[in-house]
């Protein structure tokens, strides 16, 4: 059959996707290529990507260094299996620990799985050190993932009625409220777990004083401090890890999203004193997979070699300035966030409508709530893409006015 006949015969998208579980609403576009700050659909139309796979593609789509890391590793060794050491796994653990306050790493595949590991570690530590204390304090509007335990830890109201009965042992308190936190601590508490910027909630930063008080409470009551940096880690906020902005020293940290620069890898990091898994307690068939670990190593190397953190801070300022001007002009609201995890409240405008309108103009932005737009572009973004995104965003606003 000739090719043009085949393409004429291409069925409508709903007839191609009927075997996919409808877990989210996707637009009628199939992306077939990505390069840098742009995604391309099958017809070659370019979309400026300010979401980057949900804050995952740390240095944009298919950067050369990542392609080479994947190719080189694929030629050497894709999978010796979880029962054996491999070189990228060893190197990545050493790199992460020398760049942080942690001593041990367990690699997993998703943020939820890393957080699940953190929850298990805190419970084991409570068994060993606190007469079986198992309760973990988490926060309202927090997001920790979609496994049953991490959904149970999550403070998103819409999760509350789902998949009952949940995993017990999570107490949710209002964010940035030190007194509510203090009141929630009991002899059952083993840990406090938080995001330093609540990403899915609409980019809500933890206040400096709140975090300091939280750390003090952990010390006073002998509680583990677990920081979920699945979204904020790996340079997103302008430091390698967001905890470094606060001058705190968590016991446990989780990474995911941006760690692999586009490929699925996550990490659970712990200080030696709390790293109490014994052989058999934790595992996973794909843990420490060399293809993924080699990618993460390449991302960390590129962040340093290309001085990316300084770019994050510069571009963050530019974006905030641009947001501020838009806000003045269209009566939008607060600008929040740090580094290249930024959001703006949309005032009287419906953020979902803005995002849909932007999509029709080939700009990919995200509305985590109906009154807020979030941007999480690649960390090597430049002024050119920022001005372009802002001009499209302004077109959307003026059309919706
Ligand atoms: C995305 C996210 C998760 C879940 O990560 P998955 O890879 O989707 O499992 C957990 N915590 C935070 C803060 C996140 O942003």
Segment 324-353, tens digit of pLDDT: 999 999 999 999 999 999 999 999 999 999
pLDDT value, residue 261: 98
Q: Which atom of ligand 1 is nearest to the CA of 256?
A: 7
CB of residue 268 inside a 6 A radius of ligand 1: no
- Distance in Å, CA 110 to ligand 1 centroid: 7
CB of residue 236 inside a 6 A radius of ligand 1: no
CB of residue 299 inside a 6 A radius of ligand 1: no
- Per-residue pLDDT for 5 more than 60? no
Q: Encode 311-329: b = buried (16+ Cβ within 10 Å), e = exposed.
A: bbeebbeebbebbeebbee
pLDDT value, residue 3: 55
* Pairing of β 189-194 and β 224-228: parallel
CB of residue 142 inside a 6 A radius of ligand 1: no
Q: At what angle do helices 308-330 and 383-400 cross, to 10 degrees?
A: 20
d(CA 56, CA 262): 5
CB of residue 199 inside a 6 A radius of ligand 1: yes
Give percent of the chain above pLDDT 90.
Answer: 96
93-139 pLDDT, tens digit each: 999 999 999 999 999 999 999 999 999 999 999 999 999 999 999 99
Mean pLDDT of all residues in 227-242: 98
CB of residue 169 inside a 6 A radius of ligand 1: no
Please report where in the chains the tokens 């840990």 appear, as a residue: 191
Residue 284: HSE in the Cβ half-sphere, 13 Å Cα cutoff:
18
CB of residue 336 inside a 6 A radius of ligand 1: no
Residue 201: HSE in the Cβ half-sphere, 13 Å Cα cutoff:
23
Q: Which atom of ligand 1 is nearest to the CA of 54?
A: 1
172-204 pLDDT, tens digit each: 999 999 999 999 999 999 999 999 999 999 999
pLDDT value, residue 143: 98
- Per-residue pLDDT for 4 more than 60? no
- Per-residue pLDDT for 236 more than 90? yes
CATH class of segment(s) 3-59+307-400: alpha beta
**Residue bearing the CA closest to ligand 1, atom 10:** 144
- Per-residue pLDDT for 1 more than 60? no
Mean pLDDT of all residues in 282-299: 98
pLDDT value, residue 8: 65
- Order of strands across the sheet that contains 46-49: 31-35, 38-41, 46-49, 363-364
Mean pLDDT of all residues in 263-269: 98
- Distance in Å, CA 294 to ligand 1 centroid: 21
Rounded to the nearest 10°, the torsion over CA 130, 133, 137, 142 is 110
pLDDT value, residue 10: 78
Average pLDDT, the chain: 97
Chain centroid offset of residue 10 CA: 36
Q: Which atom of ligand 1 is nearest to the CA of 200?
A: 15
Give domain 65-305's CATH number out of 3.40.640.10, 3.40.50.150, 1.25.40.10, 2.60.120.620: 3.40.640.10
- Distance in Å, CA 51 to ligand 1 centroid: 15
Q: Encode 232-261: b = buried (16+ Cβ within 10 Å), e = exposed.
A: bbbbbbbbbbbbbbbebebbbbbbbbbbbb
- Per-residue pLDDT for 146 more than 80? yes
d(CA 358, CA 362): 6
Confidence of residue 11 (pLDDT cuts 50, 70, 90): confident
Residue spans of the domains in the chain: they are 3-59+307-400, 65-305
Please report where in the chains the tokens 């499209």 appear, as a residue: 392
Confidence of residue 356 (pLDDT cuts 50, 70, 90): very high
CB of residue 53 inside a 6 A radius of ligand 1: no
pLDDT value, residue 110: 98
Tokens of 135: 């309760």
CB 199 within 8 Å of CB 232:
yes
Can you give the length of the chain in residues? 401
22-77 pLDDT, tens digit each: 999 999 999 999 999 999 999 999 999 999 999 999 999 999 999 999 999 999 99
Instruction: Report phi then psi at 323, rounded to 5.
Output: -60, -45
252-262 pLDDT, tens digit each: 999 999 999 99
- Per-residue pLDDT for 232 more than 70? yes
pLDDT value, residue 2: 54
CB of residue 195 inside a 6 A radius of ligand 1: yes
Distances from the Cα of 194 to the Cαs of 215, 254, 318, in angstroms? 11, 10, 28
CB of residue 374 inside a 6 A radius of ligand 1: no
d(CA 390, CA 173): 36
Q: Which atom of ligand 1 is nearest to the CA of 112?
A: 9
pTM above 0.95, yes or no: yes
């Amino acid at each position: 059959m000739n090719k043009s006949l085949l393409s004429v015969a291409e069925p409508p998208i709903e007839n191609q996707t009927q075997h996919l579980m409808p877990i989210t609403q996707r637009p009628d576009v199939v992306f077939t290529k990505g390069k840098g700050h742009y995604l391309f659909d099958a017809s070659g139309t370019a979309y400026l990507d300010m979401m980057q796979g949900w804050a995952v593609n740390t240095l944009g789509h298919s950067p050369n260094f990542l392609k080479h890391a994947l190719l080189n590793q694929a030629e050497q060794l894709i999978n010796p299996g979880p029962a054996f050491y491999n070189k990228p796994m060893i190197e990545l653990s050493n790199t992460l620990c020398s760049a942080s306050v942690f001593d041990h790493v367990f690699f997993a595949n998703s943020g939820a799985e890393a957080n699940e590991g953190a929850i298990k570690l805190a419970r084991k530590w409570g068994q060993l050190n606190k007469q079986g204390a198992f309760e973990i304090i988490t926060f309202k509007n927090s997001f920790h993932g979609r496994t049953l335990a991490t959904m149970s830890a999550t403070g998103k109201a819409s999760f509350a009625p789902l998949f009952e009965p949940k995993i017990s042992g999570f107490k949710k308190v209002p964010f940035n409220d030190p007194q509510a936190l203090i009141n929630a601590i009991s002899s059952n508490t083993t840990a406090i777990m938080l995001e330093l910027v609540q990403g899915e909630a609409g980019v809500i930063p933890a206040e400096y004083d709140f975090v300091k008080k939280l750390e003090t409470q952990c010390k006073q009551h002998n509680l583990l401090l677990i920081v979920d940096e699945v979204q904020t880690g790996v340079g997103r906020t302008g430091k390698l890890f967001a905890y470094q902005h606060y001058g705190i020293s968590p016991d446990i940290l989780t990474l995911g999203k941006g760690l692999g620069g586009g490929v699925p890898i996550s990490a659970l990091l712990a200080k030696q004193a709390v790293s109490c898994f014994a052989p058999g307690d934790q595992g996973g068939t794909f843990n420490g997979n060399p293809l993924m670990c080699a990618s993460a190593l390449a991302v960390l190397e590129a962040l340093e070699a290309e001085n990316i953190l300084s770019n994050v801070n510069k571009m963050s300022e530019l974006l905030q300035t641009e947001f501020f001007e838009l806000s003045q002009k269209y009566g939008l609201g607060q600008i929040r966030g740090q580094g290249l995890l930024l959001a703006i409240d949309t005032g009287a405008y419906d953020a979902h409508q803005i995002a849909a309108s932007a999509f029709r103009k080939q700009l990919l932005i995200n509305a985590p709530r109906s009154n807020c737009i979030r941007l999480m572009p690649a960390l090597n973004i430049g002024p050119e893409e920022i001005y372009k995104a802002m001009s499209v965003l302004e077109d959307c606003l003026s059309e919706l006015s």
